[in-house]
């Protein structure tokens, strides 16, 4: 049962159930950070960034070379997901509620959820997090407190995925922001084939 016409109430979800859902092409969301309920989503059109067609805008590539931030991996997962759940002046609502935050922190402890972090003077100024399964990485959310911080994290994420043998970067949906990096919409049937291939074998995020 999915959000595409049908909805299920939150059950006693476990990290294991969550991984099985990802393997079936389904992911959870909440209507609001303050809503304790979770529903399952299975989009008819899935957002994907083809790793071999990842595009870095020229101005951003220059910023990456300048290395304005210290980029770290998996050193502050809980802080990253908390920041992604915060409302801001430009983001009045988020879909990351407390049950989701706790589930993904458990996935992180199991080695299946990861963060990419931008630090400046030992202050966390941007980041993103997602889930790894097989050779697939499912991007969940990102945040930025300084110019280009989350974008630079995305560049480093893609570099790491390529280096470590991942073949699928799932963004769930496409946005104008992600399309600048090469994100495309993939029909559900085509996505299922891509996911099935990515679940064969194992890539280690680190």
Contact partners, residue 173, CB within 8 Å, separation at least 6: 43, 46, 47
pLDDT at 186: 98
- Cβ atoms within 10 Å, residue 24: 12
160 to each of 22, 148, 156, 167, how far by Cα in Å? 21, 18, 6, 11
Please state which CATH number belongs to domain 45-198: 3.40.630.70
pLDDT score of 2 more than 50 = no
What is the mean predicted confidence (pLDDT) over 21-30?
Answer: 96
Mean pLDDT of the chain: 93
The residue-averaged pLDDT of 125-149 equals 97
Q: Is the pLDDT of residue 131 over 70?
A: yes
Q: What is the mean pLDDT of residues 113-130?
A: 98
Return the C-alpha torsion angle 73, 153, 141, 139, nearest 10. -80
Q: How far apart are CA 116 and CA 42, in angstroms?
A: 25
97-117 mean pLDDT? 97
Question: Angle at CA 67, nearest 5°, toward 65 and 72?
Answer: 125
Distance CA 151, CA 143 (A): 9
Q: What is the pLDDT of residues 85-97, one digit of tens each?
A: 998 877 778 899 9
3-state percent breakdown (helix, strand, coil) of the chain, nearest 5 = 35, 25, 40
Q: Can you give the pTM of this predicted structure?
A: 0.92
The residues near 36 (Cβ < 8 Å, ≥ 6 apart) are 10, 30, 97, 98, 99
- What pLDDT is stored for residue 90 in this prediction? 74
- The one-character DSSP state at 180 is T
């Amino acid at each position: 049962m999915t959000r595409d016409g049908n909805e299920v109430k939150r059950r006693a979800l476990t990290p294991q159930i969550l991984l099985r859902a990802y393997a079936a092409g389904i992911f959870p969301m909440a209507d609001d950070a303050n809503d304790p309920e979770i529903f399952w989503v299975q989009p008819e059109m899935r957002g994907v960034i083809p790793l071999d067609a990842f595009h870095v805008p020229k101005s951003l590539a220059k910023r990456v070379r300048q290395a304005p931030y210290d980029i770290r991996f998996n050193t502050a997962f809980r802080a990253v997901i908390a920041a992604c759940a915060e409302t801001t002046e430009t983001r009045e609502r988020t879909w990351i509620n407390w049950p989701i935050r706790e589930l993904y922190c458990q996935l992180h402890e199991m080695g299946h959820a990861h963060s990419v972090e931008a630090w400046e003077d030992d202050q966390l100024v941007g980041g993103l997090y997602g889930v790894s399964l097989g050779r697939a990485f499912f991007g969940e959310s990102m945040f930025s407190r300084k110019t280009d911080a989350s974008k630079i994290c995305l560049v480093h994420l893609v570099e790491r995925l390529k280096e470590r043998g991942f073949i699928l970067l799932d963004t769930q949906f496409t946005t104008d922001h992600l399309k600048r990096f090469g994100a495309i919409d993939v029909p559900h049937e085509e996505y299922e084939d891509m996911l099935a291939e990515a679940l064969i074998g194992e890539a280690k995020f680190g």
